[in-house]
Amino acid sequence: MAQITIRKLDDAVMQALRKRAAASGRAVEDEARRALAIATGVDREAARERLDAARALLKGRTDTPAEDLVRQMREARTRELSE
């Protein structure tokens, strides 16, 4: 993996990074790494890859509309109560 040193980083930027890191429970370095990944679009690429993989797993499956599922549950409950 590559390394980077950032010189002359504004104190306000560093303070904001520290606050974000503390709020998320991450180290400052991890928070900076995450911010850079998001800013460069790398984070979105990883998300897109995961989404494509999920779509591939679900390909060809059919969905049952929610109203049909609710209707089936109500009918089953009505049958149970009438027995």
Cβ atoms within 10 Å, residue 31? 20
Question: Which pLDDT belongs to residue 42?
Answer: 82
- Domain ranges in the chain? 11-82
Residues 6+ apart with CB under 8 A from 81: none
Along the chain (83 residues), what's the average pLDDT of each consecutive run of 10 residues? 93 96 95 90 83 91 90 94 87
Exposure class string for 51-68: b at 16+ Cβ within 10 A, else e: eeeeeeeeeeeeeeeeee
